[in-house]
Amino acid sequence: MSTGVRRRMGVEERRQQLIGVALELFSQRSPDEVSIDEIASAAGISRPLVYHYFPGKLSLYQAALKRAAEDLAGRFEEPHEGPLGARLLRVMRRYFDFVDEHGPGFSALMRGGPAVSAGEPHSMSHVSATNALIDSVRQAAYDQMLSHLGVTEASPRLELVVRSWISLAESTALIWLDGRRIPRADLEVQLVHDFAALAAVGAAHDEGMAALLHTMAKEEPADGPFAELVGRLIALGA
């Protein structure tokens, strides 16, 4: 039978709980609109106790941002099984799952975090830390893409293609969040098609990219995303 006494959390357990609560709130509204009082209330503790674990909202936001960045980077992990087009489509679905669930937080992450004034203590270190987190997500996505392509060291042309595609995925997601005027599933497929298109343009200028594109096309089934793109392009010229 329950005694009604609340179990006391350890320091790290409480910190992780607060990070989770803050991340949930930051996912629903812009971090600038979420107060420490709201975080404390949602966590079931007092405002002073929040400050016992974090110096202020900015430090708590940074901790939540770090967890979100690790989660987002993990969305690019995918077993190396089956054709590349299908793998990338699964990656994009998980990526947009995150964007859908953490809209305001995703926007804040990609746009540099919550507003901080130039005179605010540690504002520059906050900007640097946020930029480093964004870069870590991009680098994780880049490394995963090379792994899927079976490449250990990218040529300058391939690096340009992959990094350009990652930037395109970010900007597409941010634009989609502003009104969600295009069905999400359409954009997921479109981004897979975008990668194939970028690779094809790169292949026109680079023999190594041409060989890579040939391998991608050879392994693609007739009902795969890359084959669908080819079919649509042929239909446009008919």
Does residue 88 carry a pLDDT above 90? yes
Give one word for 82, left, alpha or beta, with left for phi > 0 and alpha for psi -120 to 50: left
Would you place residue 2 in the very low, low, confident or very high pLDDT band (cuts 50, 70, 90)? very low
What span, in angstroms and rounded, lies between the C-alpha atoms of 60 and 78? 30
CB of 116 within 8 A of CB of 58? Answer: yes
How much is the average pLDDT of 93-112?
87
Q: Which of 33, 186, 194, 159 lies closest to 96 in space, CA to CA?
A: 186
Would you place residue 120 in the very low, low, confident or very high pLDDT band (cuts 50, 70, 90)? very low
Q: Which range, 103-107, 115-119, 197-201, is most confident? A: 197-201
Does residue 122 carry a pLDDT above 60? no
CB of 46 within 8 A of CB of 5? Answer: no
Residue type, 179: G
Does residue 100 carry a pLDDT above 60? yes
- The terminus-to-terminus CA distance of the chain in angstroms comes to 74
Q: Is residue 60 packed enough to be buried (19+ CB in 10 Å), middle (13-18) or exposed (0-12)?
A: buried
Q: What is the pLDDT of residues 20-44, one digit of tens each?
A: 898 888 888 877 888 999 999 999 9
What span, in angstroms and rounded, lies between the C-alpha atoms of 168 and 157? 16
Would you place residue 238 in the very low, low, confident or very high pLDDT band (cuts 50, 70, 90)? low
